A and B are shown apart, each in its own frame.
Chain A
Amino acid sequence: MLTLLLLGIPFLAALILFAPKDRGWKNLALIFSLVEFVVSLVAFVIYKQNPASELLHFKAVWIKSLGINFDVSINALSLLMILLTTFLIPIIILSTYKKGVKTSNKFLGLILAFQMAVIGVFMANDGFLFYIFWEITLIPVYLICLLWGGENRSKVTLKFFIYTLIGSLFMLVGLIMLYHHTNVNGLKSWDIQALYAAGRSLDFAQQGLIFWFIFIAFAVKIPIFPFHTWQPDTYVDAPIQGTMILSGIMLKMATFGAIKWLLPMVPLGVQEWGTTVMVLAIIGIVYTSIIALGQNEYKRFNAYISLAHVAVIAAAIFSGTHQGIQGSIMLMLAHGINTVGLFFISEILFRKTGTTMMDEMGGIRQQNGNFSTLFLIIVLGVVALPLTSGFIGEFLSLIGIYQFNPYFAAVAGLSIIFGAVYMLRIFQKIMLGESKNENFVFGKLEPSENIVLIIISIAIIGLGVYPAILNDIAETAAYEALLNIK
């Protein structure tokens, strides 16, 4: 029942917000998203007490003749992803609480519709349902970027849309291929266990083919080098909330999908091609880090460092080791929080300084020390300093990669050094030194901005100091994933 509630609340909110009269009901959207967060916390508590609780599962027949069920449930992995989503969405909505920012109901409604779909992706236990939710997430994000985006939005969003559509259609083909090999009492079925069994019954070559069909969808969404070219442009041109959604939540769908759907489904395919994926990911780490070093535009810089971090996540997942997967899950959580913080700051910086170029900023610390401190916490979180959220994830991920191949780990480990270099450099550029313009006044932050930054900082430090609260579940998730693989 809880699963239906998690889907129903944002759906209801979106319906209300799509009502014709446009009054900018920010509070309503915020309240609904907070209720959703509370419900997910309840799910967390229930899961802690009894992971097999009836409340966390729901199953109903949807299309009988095709063996499609509306089968949603919460397990360790999906619980963490749902918590991340329900935690970030109120923050994203809160980021519209500003003077002079015009938001319409429809904008908020689209965000909540997205939330509904993405939670569906995380809970679906039926291949077809998974695909449907996966595709639905695309529409609100596309519209958000198209309607409220920057100058080149039509071109950029179309590119984004086509990339992801190609990917997901290939995934559909892969899933259909598996579906035709399923056999549950003589009938075909979309059930996840039936698909697992069908995938494993295939031979080497077929598994490899299906691996690529499905992997392309994830590779585009994560994105893994060389499928990433849509990403920087889209992040730059999307409205800031759109970018937060894309980087904070949407790409987790793909990493989540890789763990839950790809690894257990075609183990031989992963065995055959996993190394290739890791090499691509590691190339991506180095390549995007170097590009990030040369960026001067803050938002584009964020896009590239986000690429570098998700490449670490991807490499850790495809190492197929326990620590690697556990670390990648923790890193997903950390990355979601960090990246939303970084993009949130980009909007503040642009509004206060009137520029996106980091060269032209500087001296902000002298004017607003509090802001500078909060920014530093987020920067340290991205660097993955011990006692911040990123540390445990990155540490475990690198262990996982090391177990797979020490040389890979050596190159992937560069990400730590690169991260420290570019993050501290931009902190220096933006916050320290003298202001470039003598009359420059930074001024105070608005209350809502302070709240958001403080919440994010608390989350970063809290997760760093006491990761066990989620790490246990991540460990279970990694265990479950590997259980299905072997």
Chain B
Amino acid sequence: MIGLIIIIGLGILAMISEIFNFKKLLHPIVLVGVIAAGTFNLIEWNQPVKIQYFDNMLAFDRPALAFSTVILFVALLWFTLSRTYFKNGGHLVDQYTLVLFMMVGAIILTAFTNMTTLFLGIEIMSIPLYVLAASKKGDPASNEAGFKYLLMGAFASSFLLFGIALVYGATASFDLATIQNFIATNQANLPNFFYVGVVFILVAMLFKISVAPFHFWAPDVYEGSPTVITALMSTIVKIAGIAAFLDLFIGSFQDVSFLWIKIISVIAAISLVVANVTAGVQTSVKRMLAFSSVSHATFMLLAILANLAYNVSVETLLYYSLSYAMASLIAFGILDLVKQDEGYSFKSFNGLYVRNPFLAISMTIAMLSLAGIPLASGFFAKYFVLSSLFDSGYIYLNVLAIIAAVIGACFYFKVIIAMYNGDSENRKKIQVETAQGVVFVICTGVIIVLGAFPGLIVELF
């Protein structure tokens, strides 16, 4: 909770930094603040009781603290990584403020215990993102991305609101625990519109984590937004979204799982095929990564589908989201560095190994992790999902997931092949700033350490 308050404070501080003229100090202040917030999370970790805040609107239990710590960790790396972008592009203050408030929304999403806070969290997270997506004012693609995101996001939010209203109508409560109790005691005579409400909420959440067939906004928005912002969308937003999803469906709507499990299993099957096949035919790496993020969201969805004990699901998803976020940060960070005149095509990676071996090796590890090759953390992430699917008996979905993973490996390896093989004539060497280099080293380090010792996370609870 203290972590959340610190981030809110940082956001306000960032807003006034221009007025009180300490703009130059903002970057270090934010870094220190994020580290402090993370530290307080770790302190709260050891507190025995689950503490509820705001009349039981928020509760920071261990899963919430774990997810929000991951979010803060990713944010720390992101702020370090995107420093160069803001140095050159200006508007540091506005955008830092927006990112900080977005983080507030994301942290709320890990800790909500009430439908109101769910909605607030989603809106607080989304609205800054609409602006950030459109933050390259001169670029039509960026404007298009922001506008599309806003339209689609608003659409999804309306679904969410309607769903919440219907559920409220049936259960007469916004409180998740009360709803859960109500479902458990009145299982036989729930009104039909309650089920409609659950499905609406499901649709809205699928929109937010962008799973096919609700993914159409994702590629355009990812491609049009500035790459640093895309990195944010595919990491923090995904983590928060999936954490909220988990709380809602493995938590509150557990007892009506017969309803959403069928829907999710169909959607997951569709999404695995659509995301991976479409990603395979992309010529732009950025679009490919967008579809790959759809595919990874689907894998996380599969872990929810397995519908195991809450703790197991939390561990699986925590591991998956951290592993994916690390690889994603590297991928988008390096994509931004290698971008050439021809845009984000695979060609811009040509001969990267000659131009800058360090970047090439980091990128290779990230791609291996995304493809799910052992000893990169991505392998265990996929393994936990497949294994829990087995526990629940979805053998056919498992086979489908494996075929999807193989198709996935093809397009990640296209990047690797380009880096080591493509001709690199007339290309300058790429300079990497120390801070960025440190971020890449930390990310690859986390990927390898988690890959070698997955017990660090999966034995957490």
Contact = CB atoms under 8 A, between A and B. Distances in A.
A172 B383 contact: yes
A166 B368 contact: no
Contacts of A62: 455
A165 B409 contact: yes
Given A63-B458, A153-B421, A136 B386 contact: no
A154 B421 contact: yes
B455 A139 contact: no
**Main SS class of interface, A:** helix
A158 interface: yes
B433 interface: no
B454 interface: yes
Contact of B413 (A158, A169, A176, A177): A158
Contacts of B80: none
Interface in A162-178: 162, 165-166, 169-170, 172-173, 176-177
A124 to B, nearest CB: 12
A146 B415 CA distance: 13
Nearest to B416: A146
Given A136-B374, A165-B409, A172-B386, A146 B417 contact: yes
Interface residues of B, number: 30
Given A65-B459, A165-B409, A139 B368 contact: yes
A64 B406 contact: no
Given A161-B409, A162-B410, A176-B386, A143 B374 contact: no
A157 B413 CA distance: 10
**Main SS class of interface, B:** helix
Given A63-B454, A65-B458, A158-B413, A139 B373 contact: yes
Interface in B399-418: 399, 402-403, 405-406, 409-410, 413, 416-417
Interface centre among A20, A162, A173 (most CB of B within 10 A): A173
Interface in B427-461: 453-455, 458-459
Nearest to B398: A173
Contacts of B383: 172
B417 A158 contact: yes
Nearest to A135: B374
Query: Interface size for chain A: under 10, 10 to 19, 20 to 34, or 35 or more residues?
Result: 20 to 34
A169 B421 contact: no
Contacts of B410: 158, 162
Contact of A64 (B373, B391, B455): B455
Contacts, number: 68
A132 interface: yes
A47 interface: no
Contacts of A172: 383, 386, 402
Nearest to A131: B374
A241 to B, nearest CB: 17
B455 A173 contact: no
A180 interface: yes
B390 interface: yes
A441 interface: no
A66 B312 CA distance: 12
A184 interface: no
A1 interface: no
Interface string A349-386: 00000000000000000000000000000000000000
A147 interface: yes
B24 to A, nearest CB: 35
Contacts of A165: 406, 409
Interface in B347-399: 357, 368, 373-375, 379, 383, 386-387, 390-391, 395, 398-399
Contacts of A166: 402-403, 406
B216 interface: no
Contact of B390 (A146, A158, A176): A176
Interface string A52-71: 00000000001111100000
Contacts of A131: 374
Interface string A3-36: 0000000000000000010000000000000000
B420 interface: yes
B421 A146 contact: yes
A195 to B, nearest CB: 15
A166 B403 CA distance: 7
Nearest to A161: B413
Given A146-B421, A165-B409, A177-B390, A170 B402 contact: yes
Interface in A288-322: none
Contacts of A173: 386, 398-399, 402
B391 A180 contact: yes
Nearest to B405: A169
Interface in A153-212: 153-154, 157-158, 161-162, 165-166, 169-170, 172-173, 176-177, 179-180
Contacts of B368: 139
23 contacts: A20-B357, A63-B454, A63-B455, A63-B459, A132-B375, A135-B379, A136-B375, A143-B420, A146-B416, A146-B420, A147-B421, A154-B421, A158-B410, A158-B417, A161-B413, A165-B406, A166-B403, A170-B402, A173-B399, A176-B386, A176-B390, A177-B395, A180-B387
